[in-house]
């Protein structure tokens, strides 16, 4: 069930698809996909969750506006979408940070409504490690940060203005190596304020984990190259989407918050996806990289728009039978171009966005 997500609001769809594997994979003994490709070895992703301190107040309101209440949620997540270790002492990573729920200004000038301000932070940082013991290390990081705020208004009159600017992004913390691939992490990340954009600084105190893809031992590569198990090298998928029913979308955005909830919904959609397998284990897990082209129609005003995406895909084969295999795929933060920013009368942000989805299919 794919989800195309805008920078600040999200589009949910329910999809039916057909999957075609092209062509058959290489013989098991020649399957280079049983080992991590060179560009992924010593690369990693991380997830950290914690407390975000950022002081949204009446100062962000334009002159002449007052709010009866301002709610500033503090639970936030920071994800290293992709990082790479050049050595034990130096790495480079691309990160994305945002609160789980956004700031809300309520009853502005007596309108009785709640208005959300969407604030997110991206960054590319160099990370330097200083080993303290055989397993524990201290780290410091610094680099380019991108702060993005989407405000709200009253018609053509802004109440909290949008803001997009570059600044420094700084951090420090500790890591504890549980195994060659798993680390526990804890630290602080700071995005400075901007007086010009009237944006408060943001400080995240968080903990989590990091998973690093190490080159596999020869015996593990042989175990992954099973002759009786097929992992398609190429997958071409055709998708038809319908807005009938959003129960699963609600479940994965509210009951089990794998994704964030949104306001704009899709009524119809057509898409073509191409996935290329770059790594697989012996039977269940595969890592693909993919591209897609999609056309959509919104539910509210029947606005038509299209998206072009690139994405990583974590594929899990749930059932293997001779006629077909059943698999589930999970993708997060796929860079996407979206052709419209105003959909169903709502401002969904810039033309650059991210695509997240969960899907199931047979091949």
Residue 192: alpha-carbon gap to chain centroid = 23
Write down the pLDDT at residue 4: 37
Q: What confidence tier does 243 reach under pLDDT thresholds 50, 70, 90?
A: low
- CB-based burial label for 58 (10 Å; 0-12, 13-18, 19+): exposed
Write down the pLDDT at residue 22: 53
Q: Please state which architecture CATH assigns to domain 42-213.
A: Beta Barrel (2.40)
Task: Express each pLDDT in 268-292 by its tens digit.
Answer: 888 888 989 899 888 888 889 899 9
Q: What confidence tier does 13 reach under pLDDT thresholds 50, 70, 90?
A: very low
Task: Express each pLDDT in 113-123 by its tens digit.
Answer: 999 898 889 99
**Selection from 132-136, 146-150, 273-277 with the highest mean pLDDT:** 132-136
| Residue 184, number of CB atoms within 10 A of its CB | 15
Query: Contact 318/328 with Cβ under 8 angstroms?
Result: yes
Spatial distance between the Cα atoms of 248 and 359, rounded to a whole number of angstroms: 11
How does DSSP assign 279-343, residue by residue? EE-SSSEEEEEEEEEEEEEESSS--EEEEEEEEEEEEEEEEE-SS-EEEEEEEEEEEEEES-SEE
Q: How far is CA 71 from CA 105, 255, 349, in A?
A: 7, 22, 22
Q: What confidence tier does 51 reach under pLDDT thresholds 50, 70, 90?
A: very high
Stretch (H or E) spanning 221: helix 218-224
Write down the pLDDT at residue 63: 92
Point out which residues pair with 132 in neighbouring strands: none
């Amino acid at each position: 069930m794919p989800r195309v997500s805008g920078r600040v609001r999200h589009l949910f769809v329910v999809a039916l698809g057909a999957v075609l594997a092209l062509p058959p994979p290489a013989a098991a003994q020649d399957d280079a996909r049983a080992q991590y490709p060179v560009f992924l070895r010593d690369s990693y992703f991380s997830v950290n969750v914690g407390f975000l301190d950022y002081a949204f107040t009446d100062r962000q309101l334009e002159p002449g506006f007052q709010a009866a209440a301002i709610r500033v949620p503090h639970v936030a997540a920071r994800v290293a979408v992709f990082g790479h270790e050049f050595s034990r002492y130096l790495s480079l990573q691309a990160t994305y940070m945002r609160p789980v729920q956004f700031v809300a200004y309520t009853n502005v000038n007596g309108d009785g409504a709640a208005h959300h301000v969407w604030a997110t932070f991206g960054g590319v940082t160099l990370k330097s490690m200083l080993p303290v013991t055989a397993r524990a290390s201290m780290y410091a990081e610094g680099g380019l940060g991108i702060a993005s705020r989407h405000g709200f208004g009253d018609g053509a009159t802004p109440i909290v203005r949008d803001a997009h600017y570059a600044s420094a992004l700084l951090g420090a913390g500790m890591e504890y190596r549980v195994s060659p691939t798993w680390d526990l992490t804890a630290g602080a990340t700071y995005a400075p304020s901007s007086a010009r954009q009237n944006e408060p600084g943001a400080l995240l105190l968080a903990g989590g984990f990091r998973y690093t893809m190490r080159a596999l031992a020869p015996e593990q590569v042989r175990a992954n190259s099973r002759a009786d198990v097929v992992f398609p090298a190429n997958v071409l998928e055709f998708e038809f989407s319908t807005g009938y029913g959003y129960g699963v979308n609600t479940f994965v955005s509210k009951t089990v918050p794998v994704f964030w909830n949104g306001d704009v919904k899709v009524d119809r959609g057509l898409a073509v996806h191409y996935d290329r397998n770059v790594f697989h284990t012996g039977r269940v897990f595969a890592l693909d990289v993919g591209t897609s082209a999609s056309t959509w129609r919104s539910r509210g005003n029947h606005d038509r728009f299209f998206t072009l995406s690139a994405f990583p895909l974590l594929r899990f084969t749930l059932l293997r039978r001779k006629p077909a295999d059943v698999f589930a795929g999970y993708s997060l933060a796929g860079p996407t171009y979206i052709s419209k920013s105003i959909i169903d009368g709502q401002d969904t942000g810039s033309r650059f966005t991210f695509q997240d989805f969960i899907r199931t299919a047979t091949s």
